[in-house]
Structure 1
Amino acid sequence: MSYSPAQRSPLSETENQEHSTESKYGERLIAEGTLITFPNPRIGRRYEIHITLPEFTCKCPFSGYPDFATIHLTYVPNQRVVELKALKLYINNYRDRYISHEESVNQILDDFIAACDPLEIRIKGDFLPRGNVHTVIEVNHHKEA
């Protein structure tokens, strides 16, 4: 059976209202999202991990308009590695936050360092143009010897 958005929902009006106000499991997981790590399987071997997160969103703290970016994360692990599903949930937590481009990229760096203490990390936020302005924010951290 096909269903087009123009048709009425198969749920009753009461069921529709209850369904729209209850917290969805994905929203709960995102709200609880923290960076989880696991032991580096190759301690002592220097290697880079490259992660691209192409669906980053947050809200402009001044206008409330949505901002969209691709986050590029490259790090050299130390003792711990970040678990990817946890990273996805953590990043999705920004979608309703009023936060500047600069602060969001710097906060991601701070939280990543706190979670896994990498030897090196580079995070780049490549924000889609808005109002004819294209912004790229890049932050780096190197563990002191």
Structure 2
Amino acid sequence: MKRLIFILSLVLAVPAYAVQPDEMLSDPALEARAREVSKDLRCLVCRNESIDDSNAELARDLRILVRERITAGDSNPEVKQYLVDRYGEYVLLKPLTGGVNWLLWGAGPLMLLIALVIGIGYLRKRQSGTETPVVALSEEEQTRLKEIMGE
């Protein structure tokens, strides 16, 4: 029975948000939009955490700014664009895939492909390489070897 209660408490647990009651908007529709926007924005202090989940002061300021922009009448993309213009693309949890970012998105697979080509080339060269012939010792070298070995 205890296990069942424990499992149910884990399954039914809701995520804890860092949004303070004084930050919340009175209109539930606007608050839902603010949550939708802020879940895609990165806390610049905590790194890979959304501003909705972060307790940092800067995250609080960003949450308030998002709510101010929404109450001013901005659409969700306009709010995100405002923050990108102000803080840079790093503020987005999911970076854009256009422009120069294609270089970043494509660099990993490109490097993997280059490494595979180099590795296959190395293995083929190593496999098809000829062995160096073993040269027998001359009479003089054999005599000298016997002297050294004490025979």
Q: Same fold (TM over 0.5)?
A: no
More strand by share: 1
* Higher-helix-fraction structure: 2
Q: Which has the larger radius of gyration?
A: 2
TM-score by length of 1: 0.28
